[in-house]
């Protein structure tokens, strides 16, 4: 780091961010961190040291979200100072300020997690799933390590139970337990499998709990369709209209839409064909007019034509950079806000459309296998949570109580 040089050049970074349309919060965060760097000059030896001494401790008093803004701001400054990197809305992390559990594991525990990753990659498991399960197992093993276990044999039943329970309070649920077991099961055929089996047997039998899915109501769907028809009259860009239309009528995942390329659209056959990012399974969907027409409008009238990328949808500020899946979710939430839909609801993301499509097909009697194929599920069991929202068919499963006498007091208020 070169603070002396940064004092002379930092204005270039702020002016660049203003010219590129970065928000006041992003620019203000960088400005605040610059002033702190200058105020504490000589009291730190690196950006990592500065963050630990003067920023991370605020997480105890401030909000996690605010701390995230600070971390991003410091990374932006470091990228500019040490790597001549100007922010382009893609996460730039030259250093990691938070140490991972995996990096702190001893040789044996780390070997268990690394072996799982190798097995999972050979099975073509998605990188996201591998990462989530590896992180859960790493957190578990690091906790065991902190409690004094030097190897798998040293992990006792009481240690395992303390990871899931704090006295009578449950700390982690069955989903966490499943992820850890997935990693330990991968040790089959190795010298560690006997101890891994023992550890799995000592894990508590946690009940799987799941809240009912929130789904779109018919009046909300009607409002969505009306706002899509209005188009630019309600301050909706052609890109956002095309994205929301695709989400609405195909129920594709946000990651698949973000990574969709120009050649995924077959205009002659009216088809959308792609390989799903989550399951790595191919899927072919019909390209209906309600999806194709807004897409053509976007390609002809709004998408820059001189780009060197093949991605279908582009970023607004930096169109040469690939869109992130989180951007798709942001487009949907922004659309809901403009349309006045689900403004008081906690859940207003892209998954609502997948659930709506699944429940409507279930209500009309479409076979589960067909629904799973349309949604791109790798396992038919993935459809089970949607069945709980099919009220019409659930009522048909109800049993009559006419043959069972019930006292009058039961139904009295």
Q: Could you tell me if 254 and 110 lie in one domain? A: no
3-state secondary structure of 322: strand
Backbone angles phi, psi at 95, to 5 degrees: -140, 160
Domain annotation covers residue 279? yes
Domain annotation covers residue 406? no
What is d(CA 126, CA 380) in angstroms, rounded to the nearest whole number?
A: 18
Q: Could you tell me if 227 and 313 lie in one domain? A: yes
| Domains held by the chain: number | 3
Domain annotation covers residue 119? yes
Domain annotation covers residue 113? yes
Q: Could you tell me if 139 and 78 lie in one domain? A: no
3-state secondary structure of 265: strand
Alpha helices in 203-350 (DSSP H): 218-230, 238-250, 254-258, 289-301, 325-339
Q: Which pLDDT tens digit goes with each residue over 319-378?
A: 777 777 788 888 888 888 888 887 776 677 788 888 888 888 877 777 777 777 777 776
Q: Could you tell me if 133 and 237 lie in one domain? A: no
Domain annotation covers residue 42? yes
Q: Could you tell me if 372 and 313 lie in one domain? A: yes
Query: Residue 317 is part of a domain; what is its CATH number?
Result: 1.10.443.10
pLDDT number for residue 55: 75
User: What are the residue ranges in the chain where pLDDT is below 50?
Assistant: 59-62, 95-97
Measured in residues, the chain has a length of 413
Q: Could you tell me if 365 and 331 lie in one domain? A: yes
Q: Could you tell me if 240 and 374 lie in one domain? A: yes
Q: For residue 87, give the DSSP letter.
A: P
> Environment class of residue 70 by beta-carbon count within 10 Å: exposed (0-12), middle (13-18) or buried (19+)?
buried
Alpha helices in 147-217 (DSSP H): 157-164, 174-185, 193-202
Taking residue 113's Cβ as centre, other Cβ atoms within 10 Å add up to 23
Q: Could you tell me if 19 and 106 lie in one domain? A: no
Q: Could you tell me if 291 and 340 lie in one domain? A: yes
Q: Could you tell me if 158 and 183 lie in one domain? A: yes
Range of the domain at 64: 3-83
Domain annotation covers residue 409? no
Structure tokens at 270: 């009216």
pTM of the full structure: 0.56
What is d(CA 140, CA 386) in angstroms, rounded to the nearest whole number?
A: 31
Domain annotation covers residue 208? no
How does strand 282-286 pair with strand 271-275?
Answer: antiparallel
As a whole number of angstroms, the longest Cα–Cα distance in the chain is: 87
Cβ atoms of residues 47 and 1 within 8 Å: yes
pLDDT number for residue 96: 44
Domain annotation covers residue 401? no
Q: Could you tell me if 44 and 179 lie in one domain? A: no
Q: Could you tell me if 167 and 271 lie in one domain? A: no
Q: Which pLDDT tens digit goes with each residue over 14-50?
A: 888 888 777 788 888 888 888 888 888 878 877 777 8
pLDDT number for residue 237: 86
- Which residues, 6+ apart, have CB-to-CB distance to 175 below 8 Å? 208
């Amino acid at each position: 780091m070169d603070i002396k040089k940064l004092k002379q050049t930092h204005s270039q970074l702020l002016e660049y961010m203003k010219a590129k349309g970065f928000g006041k919060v992003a620019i203000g965060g960088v400005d605040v961190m610059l002033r702190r760097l200058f105020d504490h000059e000589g009291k730190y030896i690196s950006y990592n040291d500065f963050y630990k001494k003067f920023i991370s401790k605020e997480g105890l008093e401030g909000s996690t979200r605010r701390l995230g803004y600070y971390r991003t701001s410091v990374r932006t400054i470091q990228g500019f100072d040490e790597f001549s990197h100007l922010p382009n809305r893609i996460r730039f992390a030259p250093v990691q300020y938070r140490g991972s559990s995996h990096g702190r594991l001893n040789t044996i525990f780390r070997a268990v997690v690394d072996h799982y990753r190798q097995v999972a990659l050979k099975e073509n498991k998605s990188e996201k799933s591998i990462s989530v399960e590896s992180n859960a197992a790493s957190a578990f093993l690091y906790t065991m390590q902190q409690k004094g276990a030097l190897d798998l044999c040293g992990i006792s039943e009481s240690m395992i139970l303390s990871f899931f329970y704090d006295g009578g309070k449950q700390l982690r649920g069955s989903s966490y337990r499943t992820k850890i077991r997935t990693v330990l099961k991968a040790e089959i055929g190795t010298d560690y499998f006997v101890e891994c089996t023992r550890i799995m047997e000592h894990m508590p039998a946690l009940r799987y709990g799941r809240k009912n899915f929130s789904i779109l109501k018919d009046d909300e769907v009607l409002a969505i369709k009306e706002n899509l028809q209005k188009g630019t009259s309600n301050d909706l860009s052609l890109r956002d209209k095309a994205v929301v239309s695709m989400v609405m009528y195909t129920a594709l995942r946000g990651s698949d839409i973000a990574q969709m390329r120009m050649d995924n659209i077959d205009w002659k056959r009216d088809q959308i064909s792609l390989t799903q990012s989550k399951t790595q399974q191919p899927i072919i969907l019909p390209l209906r007019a309600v999806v194709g027409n807004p897409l053509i409008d976007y390609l002809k009238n709004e998408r820059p034509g001189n780009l060197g990328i093949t991605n279908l949808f582009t970023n607004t500020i930096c169109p040469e950079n690939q869109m992130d899946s989180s951007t798709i979710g942001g487009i949907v939430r922004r659309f809901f806000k403009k349309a006045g839909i689900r403004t008081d609801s906690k859940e207003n993301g892209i998954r609502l459309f997948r659930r709506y499509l699944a429940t409507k097909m279930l209500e009309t009697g479409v076979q589960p296998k067909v629904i799973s194929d349309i949604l791109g599920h790798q396992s038919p069991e993935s459809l089970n949570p949607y069945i709980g929202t099919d009220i019409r068919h659930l009522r048909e499963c109800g049993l009559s109580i006419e043959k069972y006498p019930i006292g009058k007091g039961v139904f009295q208020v």
